[in-house]
Amino acid sequence: MPVRTRSAALSTAWAEFGPFLAFDAEICKVICSTNAIESVNARIRKAVQARGHFRTSRPPSSAST
């Protein structure tokens, strides 16, 4: 990546990240933990979409009554 492109990317990223540093430490912890939870949720959604809700195409026998 050329230096000019890196510099432009860094300045764009810093413009978005800089205001985050103005928050109190406790708020930063909440934001970071919320991002981690959302990441886990996204992985779970992706796995469910890939293989479905059940291990087989048939629902459990208790659900069919």
pLDDT for res 38:
92
Say if residue 63's pLDDT is above 60.
no
pLDDT, tens digit, 9 for 90 and up, residues 31-56: 888 889 999 999 988 888 887 665 66
Confidence of residue 29 (pLDDT cuts 50, 70, 90): confident
Q: Tell me the Ramachandran region of residue 28: left when phi exceeds 0, alpha when psi lies from -120 to 50, beta otherwise.
A: alpha
How large is the C-alpha radius of gyration of the chain?
A: 21
Confidence of residue 21 (pLDDT cuts 50, 70, 90): confident
Domain chopping of the chain, boundaries: 23-65
* Cα–Cα dist 33/28, whole Å: 9
